[in-house]
Amino acid sequence: MRRTWLPLVAVLTIGAAIPAYAAPQSAPVGPAEAVLALPDQSPEGAPDALAGVLDPLLDDPSLGGSVGAIVLDVATGAVIYQREAAMPRSLASNQKVFTSLAILDALGPEGRIETTVAWDSPTSTLTLVGAGDPTLASVSASGSSLADLADQVAGQVTGEVSLRYDTSLFDGPALAPGWAPDYPALGIAAPVSPLVVDRSRIGGDEARQPDPARAAADAFASLLADRGVTVGDIAEGASTGQVIATTTSEPLATMVETMLTESDNDMSEILGHLAGAEQSGVGSFDSGAAATLATLQSLGIPSSGSEFVDGSGLSYEDVASPLTLASAVSLTSGAAAPAWTWPVVLGLPVAGLTGTLADRFVDPDTRPAAGFVRAKTGTLIGVSTLAGTVVDADGRLLAFAFMSDATTDVDSSRAALDRAAAALAACGCRG
């Protein structure tokens, strides 16, 4: 077994802030056609009153005139505002909301990932087996580490050995459709592999390893050498022999919260592949996308017209409607939320305080909403999205999704969506 379940003892916060990423230089023009039927609006939602507040804000020129939006009352499910809400648009990093649901559905918040080392005595071969742990560290840590594996191996193996590394859990291309080949060098995302160490960083820089699995194997060989185990040849290959060392990650809940708060592209891609592997046996962009869509459908989230090609939202080909996105947020925030979905709500950045919203909601017109809005951000060139929850002036918990795919300026479009979310917080629009 490459993965196992262990009791959840504590949920910790891990990982450093991930810098804003670049994006391809062109975006699709305009939204797709509407494919979903919206539920009836509730008269008690006073949609006209809320429209009077939001429409002028979403007409901001920086949003380019192509905006989809929806606001739901979480307690009742009523649509209290909508604007082209059934039209699929590029998600950018809000794709990570769906990826979170997929991996939590597959393994649960208490699930942990085991990375192992096998030993084949007749051939003096060690095999480091990749199990899809995006948090594997080189040094001893609170979770999984290569150093712990090396300590265990050194207590059982002596002399010179060959080292293999097994990446068979994942298959297919390492870069998704729509990704530029220079993403690893630019520090946007590493090639996706089930075996990575130290988040695929090169020497502490933001640039990613071009071959994360080989880099992990090299690091492991160095750690073994420090402990008196000499490594000869190193090559990729299937695991043989018996497992003699195991290191276990922190809970998936921790990973999901970190992935959402910091918008970690590498973590989301590995977890998306891992969800696909749980469903089909092998992780890939295709199996991850299939697992994600299957999870949304099993939860009853309206998903017609949704198309996914990666787990992070780096590709413009990841599309879903505001209705789909807000419905997912609403489901995880309400009283009827499945018990295993709780890390999604806790992982949403808090306006003005955490993650990708730490430096937003700081202007005079949005500062009053700091601490009250929890939302996932998403940015590509030409695309700006914001989806999350807020409690309005009437005390209602609202779920919202604002999506623009024709933005003219990154900072201005973000500020425009922040103003719309802040207006929700201030609005007493029950009617």
Q: What is the pLDDT of residues 77-99, one digit of tens each?
A: 999 999 999 999 999 999 999 99
Q: How confident is the model at residue 141 (pLDDT cuts 50, 70, 90)?
A: confident
* Predicted local confidence at residue 257, as pLDDT: 98
Where is 62: in which H helix or E strand?
none
Report the alpha-carbon distance of residue 60 to residue 83 in Å, rounded.
Answer: 14
Q: What is the mean pLDDT of residues 338-359?
A: 97
The pTM of the full predicted model, rounded to 2 decimals, is 0.89
Location of each CATH 3.50.80.20 domain in the chain: 112-250
pLDDT at 232 over 70: yes
Question: Which CATH code of 3.50.80.20, 1.10.630.10, 1.10.8.50, 3.40.50.880 fits the domain covering 112-250?
Answer: 3.50.80.20
pLDDT at 4 over 60: no
* Predicted local confidence at residue 120, as pLDDT: 97
pLDDT at 409 over 50: yes
% of the chain at pLDDT higher than 70: 89
Give the three-state DSSP class for 47: helix
Is-contact 249 135, C-beta < 8 A?
A: yes
CA distances from 259 to 143, 327, 349 (A): 16, 20, 10
Mean pLDDT of all residues belonging to the chain: 90
Mean pLDDT is lowest, of 13-27, 116-130, 194-208, 305-319, for 13-27
* Predicted local confidence at residue 48, as pLDDT: 73
pLDDT at 1 over 80: no
pLDDT at 43 over 50: no
pLDDT at 353 over 50: yes
For residue 315 the two structure tokens come to: 């590709």
pLDDT at 45 over 60: no
Mean pLDDT is lowest, of 25-29, 60-64, 152-156, 170-174, for 25-29
pLDDT at 18 over 90: no
* Predicted local confidence at residue 290, as pLDDT: 98
DSSP per residue, 112-125: EEEEEEEEEGGGTE
- 142 against 4, higher pLDDT: 142
Domain at 43-107+254-426: CATH code: 3.40.710.10
* Predicted local confidence at residue 49, as pLDDT: 84
* Predicted local confidence at residue 288, as pLDDT: 98
pLDDT at 21 over 90: no
* Predicted local confidence at residue 38, as pLDDT: 54
Catalytic positions, written as ranges: 93, 96, 263
* Predicted local confidence at residue 157, as pLDDT: 95
Mean pLDDT is lowest, of 9-13, 137-141, 363-367, for 9-13
Across 361-375, b (16+ Cβ under 10 Å) vs e yields: beeeebeebbebbbb
Mean pLDDT is lowest, of 202-211, 246-255, 350-359, for 202-211
Give the three-state DSSP class for 380: strand
196 phi and psi, to 5 degrees? -135, 155
- 43 against 339, higher pLDDT: 339
Location of each CATH 3.40.710.10 domain in the chain: 43-107+254-426
Is-contact 98 320, C-beta < 8 A?
A: yes
Is-contact 127 200, C-beta < 8 A?
A: no
* Predicted local confidence at residue 108, as pLDDT: 98
